[in-house]
Amino acid sequence: MQQFNVVISGFDHYDGIEVNPSAEVARTLSSHGIDDMPDGTSATVTSVLLPLSFQNAWPTLRETIDAVHPDIVIATGLKTRSHSVALERCATNLIDASRPDVDNVQPRRTPINPEGSAAYWTRLPLRAILHDFTKRNIPATLSSDAGTFVCNSLFYQLLDWNAAQTNTLAGFMSFPKVGDGGKYGSGLSLDQMILAAQDAVRATVDYAVHPFADEICAD
């Protein structure tokens, strides 16, 4: 049996959001685990909740990564204007905050790392994940980036770390608000988003065992 250690992160608070799906999904996967893993594999999931902080989100996630030594890291966040799960393709080296973070910090038009790469591509098999979402009728989209707020900053720093790793796959998923009504649809239930995260883990484990270059979906 091939064992995979998985870290999944969510954010612990969003102003004006009663139920934060990124936090609830992370907690659920850690407490209930993941059934129906690919043959010959099993997964242990560790969750961590992060402050919506430019300064502290990545160090908090990194502390868990260093403790767990994961094979897979999936960071999650919230896109309040989305009505489907967004599979994030690219992390850009830019902060341009339209509002302050939890520390009342609001950087504008500044790089995350002045000496870093302009961008990084995800290391998750997005095509395979999207295929599994389709089988479950989970609304989803491929997103070009995670914006320019804390989600993108975390995503960039995660992939900057991941670039030096040889056996770890990492990426970012964004969730819509729970059951959000609106002109484009009724939003997603929390159960659907939990299923989406479980599918993402299964597909990534399958990719780790049977890698195919075109599954990354970086173009």
pLDDT tens-digit profile of 41-55? 999 999 999 999 999
pLDDT of residue 211: 85
For residue 80, the one-letter residue type is T
pLDDT of residue 217: 56
pLDDT of residue 81: 84
HSE-up of 8 (CA within 13 Å, CB side)? Answer: 29
pLDDT tens-digit profile of 96-142? 999 999 999 999 999 999 999 999 999 999 999 999 999 999 999 99
Place of tokens 């990124």: 22
Place of tokens 């402050």: 51
pLDDT tens-digit profile of 158-167? 999 999 999 9
Q: How far apart are CA 31 and CA 198, in angstroms?
A: 12
pLDDT tens-digit profile of 7-38? 999 999 888 888 999 999 999 999 999 999 99
- Say yes or no to pLDDT of 151 above 80: yes
Report the Cα–Cα distance between both ends of the chain, in Å, rounded.
34
Q: Are 29 and 8 in contact (CB under 8 A)?
A: yes
Please give the average per-residue pLDDT across 85-94, as a whole number: 97
Q: How far apart are CA 155 and CA 35, in angstroms?
A: 27
Q: How far apart are CA 140 and CA 122, in angstroms?
A: 16
pLDDT tens-digit profile of 166-213? 999 999 999 999 985 444 455 699 999 999 999 999 999 999 998 876
Residue ranges of domains in the chain, CATH in brackets: 2-215 (3.40.630.20)
